[in-house]
Amino acid sequence: MSRNFDKKSQLITSDAYPQMMSRQGGAQAVQTLRSPQATTNAQSAIEACVPAMRKAILQYVDELEKAEGDMATVFARAHEIRGFAETAGLVTTGRIAEILCRYMDDMERIKRPLDQTLVALNIAAIGRAARTEDTDPTMGEVVATELTALIARRLADAGLA
């Protein structure tokens, strides 16, 4: 079914829409959202979701490790991990995923091939960090720092840095 639409645009002014709430109601809503009780409730809700988020991140890590050269899947899973890991308490895991995502973005931007060994190192580090971050956070930070330096050298070699 085809519809004919007038090709001219019509500007609708903002005052033509009904107000969702009054100024006083808006101010009250903002005050409520900024209240200590709202902060406490939000924090409690996030903390209640941490176990499920950690489980999801570990599933993403498993998928990342099984991607074996499928760079689209590697990037997608690393992107998801970097987005949720810190909220789930896996700060180093998220940091290493961020390092991998930036590397992949930078190499694509300059149209250079990815170093598969470097990608594999990052994937292994993400897996190790996700599974041991609670017991050995210092080692994860050392690995993240070393990977950052290694990628910086590779990007400099590629002419990006």
Domain that holds residue 61: 50-157
Residue 126 lies in a domain: yes
Q: Which secondary structure element, helix H or strand E, spans residue 127, and what is its range? A: helix 116-132
Residue 25 lies in a domain: no
Whether the model clears a pTM of 0.75, i.e. scores above it, the answer is no
User: With helix as H, strand as E and coil as C, how does 12-57 read?
Assistant: CCHHHCCCCCCHHHHHHHHHHHCCHHHHHHHHHHHHHHHHHHHHHH
Residue 6, pLDDT score? 59
| Domain-embedded: residue 10 | no
Residue 3 confidence (pLDDT):
54
Is 17 part of a structural domain of the chain? Answer: no
Q: Do the Cβ atoms of 127 and 61 come closer than 8 Å?
A: yes
**CATH code of the domain covering residue 93:** 1.20.120
Q: 3: helix, coil or strand? A: coil
Cα–Cα distance for residue pair 67/64, rounded to 1 Å: 5
Query: Is there a domain that residue 71 lies in?
Result: yes
- Going residue by residue through the chain, which has 161 residues, state the pLDDT in tens, using 9 for 90 and above: 445 555 677 777 877 777 777 888 888 888 888 899 988 998 898 889 999 999 999 999 999 999 988 999 999 999 999 999 999 999 999 999 999 999 999 999 989 999 999 999 999 999 999 998 888 777 778 888 888 898 888 888 877 65
Q: Is residue 66 part of a domain?
A: yes
Count of the separate structural domains present in the chain: 1
In a domain, 61, yes or no: yes
Return mean pLDDT, the chain.
Answer: 87
Does 28 fall in a domain? no
Q: Amino acid identity of 92?
A: T
Comparing CA positions, the residue from 98, 76, 97, 92 lying closest to residue 129 is 92
